[in-house]
Amino acid sequence: MTLRRCLPISSLCLLLGLAACAGGPETPLRSGRVQPSSGGYYKVGKPYQIKGDWYYPKEDYSYDETGIASWYGADFHDQTTANGETYNKNELTAAHKTLPLPTLARVTNLENGRSIVVRINDRGPFSGARVIDVSQRSAQLLGFEQSGTAKVRVQVLADESKAIADAMRTYGGPSQETQAITQKAQQQAYEPAQTYSSAPATSVESAPLEPVATQPAHPVSLPTSAAQVHPVAEYVQLPVSGPHLIYVQAGAFTNAANATKLTKTLSKVGTTRVVEALVKGTRYYRVRLGPIDSVTEADKLLKRIKASGAGEARIVVD
């Protein structure tokens, strides 16, 4: 459903507490945290099948996964995304297979500590087992444009994403409850999450952009809904630690016997091991192969594992 009602200036600038109500979609604003863009609607979507694999979109505000990121650019520039927005390779956006559209998420490059906030507004990637496909500008900020892929962690920004969903469900008119959520999010949306080290973040750096002169906002120049705000092109330098090795996870079970059964099934593919993990009070038994030397080798191994019947297998970084 297309959003047609206009937000008042106060509501738009309150949304995410990050608004810079001026400028066009091509040039991120240095003075604010978000910028207006165009089009789009809120979408979760029905289950769908691509290349024989099924995907099940859902709202998951606790989403926190590691894996391999890739990027897409000029070939898709100005094309329509899965939720009706226009893809701009210069904005901080991304594609994901199952998260709601749009969703705000923090993407951290585990190899260099660079961390950005992206707006997920498209479906994919479907080439290789990638956890996320970011825009070309995002890849530049994260420092992996030249290599093509990177080990990353993807964390949904729950409060901000819920606020956007609530605002869009009411056609751009966020409720008082939503406004309270976004006010709280104002202080934390761009604060680095101390996940990999107890040491504080050392610095915040901006992309090498030309200065942009901003003008006072006017009602006729505002975007038509809360859907039309995007993160600014900045990255936060986070401390990261650990080897961050690549594995293929063939499955995760709450029953240890099922994990043992799968290890036997995959014994001809390679050496497997069962790794226990406690997630939200539930113990899981993860069947993994690795570590693996490269993304290319991981892709090959994943293909063999899926051919052996483990259709839920995926690449993870740990």
Rounded CA-CA distance 16/189 in Å is 8
Tell me the per-residue pLDDT of 142-159, one tens digit each, with 9 for 90 and over: 999 999 999 999 999 999
Pick 9-237's CATH classification: 2.40.40.10, 2.60.40.790, 3.30.428.10, 3.40.30.10. 2.40.40.10
175 pairs with which residues across the strands?
Answer: none
Question: 47 and 57 in contact (C-beta within 8 Å)?
Answer: yes
- How many angstroms separate the CA atoms of 298 and 304, rounded? 10
Chain centre distance of CA 198: 24
> What does the angle CA 73 – CA 78 – CA 79 come to, to the nearest 5 degrees?
90
C-alpha–C-alpha distance, residues 150 and 127, integer Å:
15
**Domain-wise residue ranges, the chain:** 9-237, 246-317
Tens digit of each residue's pLDDT (9 = 90 or more) over 84-134: 999 999 999 999 999 999 999 999 999 999 999 999 999 999 877 899 999
The predicted-structure confidence for 37-55, as pLDDT tens digits, reads as follows: 456 889 999 999 998 889 9
Burial (CB < 10 A; 0-12, 13-18, 19+), residue 290, is buried
Q: Binning pLDDT at 50, 70 and 90, where does residue 171 land? A: low
* Whole-angstrom Cα Rg for the chain: 20
pLDDT > 90 fraction of the chain, expressed in percent and rounded: 57
CATH superfamily of 246-317: Sporulation related repeat (3.30.70.1070)
| DSSP, res 53 | E
DSSP letter (8 states) at residue 208 = -
pLDDT of residue 23: 28
**Residues 1-23: tens digit of each pLDDT:** 333 223 332 333 333 333 332 22
Sign of CA dihedral 43, 4, 163, 105: positive
Q: Is the pTM of this model over 0.75?
A: no
Mean pLDDT, all residues of the chain: 75
Measured over the CA atoms of residue 21, residue 25, residue 30 and residue 34, the dihedral's sign is: positive
